[in-house]
């Protein structure tokens, strides 16, 4: 399954020259005594198709070898390979009612977050020939055009034996690219730049700033307060500013070398600590 061997239970049909029998393959595996014969093998399990058989024995020097039939004349281990029947995935990647063509779609199984199955949309924004082995996936849609990024993310659970799944219309968020460098007296510095939405102070996005390539990322359209932190304990470079993001922008940070302060804000009437945002 997705490049990994996973033991399963299932029915194994053995059709020999002198006899035919069915055995239940269990996990963990168990020993079965079979009459000496040459058998044609086929596996059965709901939601799976039979693929191949492999043999491990002294004849194969203990290695797994692909076989067309299973000859029982000594003690051997039989491996029956099954494959999950794939599920057909349908859907449309859209922005403001218009399908987005040639967008990238990536499906990542939750059990293996380093595995990516990539597809693209057709000229109308439809998922194009997407077949997935049943499992739980995180999916993401992405498309870049003239400094804008169209993006959507979600999660699906494909049951074994499920023939198809319709995601419906996946509505994209539109984000604009923002990038720049941070400099002090003309020399590039490293740190973290923070964008805080003026309409939602809980909407905070940070990007790492390096001395070699600055920072880059994408944000939803809107007005943002911009600040900088250098992350150093023995110096303090600061920046504060405002940006209106309605297109892709380059936004450079001209830093100031300043001190810092720490304290509390209390009410003058009762000396209670004020813990709201300042």
Q: Which two tokens stand for residue 200?
A: 């939602």
User: Scanning the structure block, which residue is given the tokens 């194994």?
Assistant: 12
Structure confidence by residue, pLDDT tens digits, 138-194: 999 999 999 999 999 999 999 999 999 999 999 999 999 999 999 999 999 999 999
Q: Do domains 87-171 and 177-257 have the same CATH topology?
A: yes
Give domain limits for the chain: 10-84, 87-171, 177-257
Residue 181's CB: how many other CB atoms inside 10 A?
A: 19
At 274, is the pLDDT very low, low, confident or very high (cuts 50, 70, 90)?
confident
Q: Which residue has the higher pLDDT, 240 or 1?
A: 240
Instruction: Examine residue 230 and say whether the peptide bond preceding it is cis (omega within 30 degrees of 0).
Output: no
Structure confidence by residue, pLDDT tens digits, 195-215: 999 999 999 999 999 999 999
- Give the separation between CA 14 and CA 12, rounded to whole angstroms: 6
- Give the separation between CA 160 and CA 69, rounded to whole angstroms: 28
Residue 262 has pLDDT above 70, yes or no: no
Mean pLDDT, residues 37-43: 95
- What fold is seen in the domain 177-257? Immunoglobulin-like (2.60.40)
Q: What is the pLDDT of residue 45?
A: 96
Structure confidence by residue, pLDDT tens digits, 98-121: 999 999 999 999 988 889 999 999
pTM for this predicted structure: 0.77
Torsion of CA 213, 195, 141, 150, to 10 degrees: -90
- Is the domain 87-171 a CATH 2.60.120.10 member? no
């Amino acid at each position: 399954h997705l490049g990994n061997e996973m033991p399963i239970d299932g029915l194994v049909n053995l059709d020999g020259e002198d006899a035919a029998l069915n055995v239940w393959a269990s996990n963990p595996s168990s020993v079965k005594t079979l009459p000496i014969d040459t058998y044609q093998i086929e596996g059965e399990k709901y939601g799976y198709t039979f693929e191949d058989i492999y043999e491990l024995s002294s004849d194969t020097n203990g290695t797994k070898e692909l076989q067309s039939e299973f000859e029982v004349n000594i003690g051997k281990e039989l491996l029956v390979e099954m494959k999950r029947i794939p599920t057909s995935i349908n859907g449309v990647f859209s922005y403001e009612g218009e399908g987005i063509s040639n967008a990238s779609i990536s499906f990542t199984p939750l059990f293996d977050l380093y595995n990516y199955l990539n597809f693209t949309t057709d000229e109308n924004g439809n998922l194009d020939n997407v077949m997935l082995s049943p499992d739980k996936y995180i999916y993401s849609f992405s498309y870049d055009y003239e400094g804008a990024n169209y993006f959507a993310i979600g999660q699906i659970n494909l049951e074994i034996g499920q023939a198809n799944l319709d995601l419906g219309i996946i509505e994209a968020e539109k984000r604009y690219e923002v990038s720049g460098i941070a400099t002090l007296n003309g020399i590039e510095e490293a740190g973290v730049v923070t964008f805080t939405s003026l309409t939602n102070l809980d909407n905070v996005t940070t990007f790492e700033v390096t001395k070699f390539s600055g920072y880059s990322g994408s944000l939803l359209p809107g007005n943002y307060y911009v600040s900088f932190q250098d992350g150093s304990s023995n110096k303090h470079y600061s920046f504060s500013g405002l940006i209106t993001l309605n297109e892709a922008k380059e936004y450079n940070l001209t830093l100031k070398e300043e001190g810092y302060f720490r304290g509390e804000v209390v009410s003058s009437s009762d000396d209670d600590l004020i813990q709201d945002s300042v």
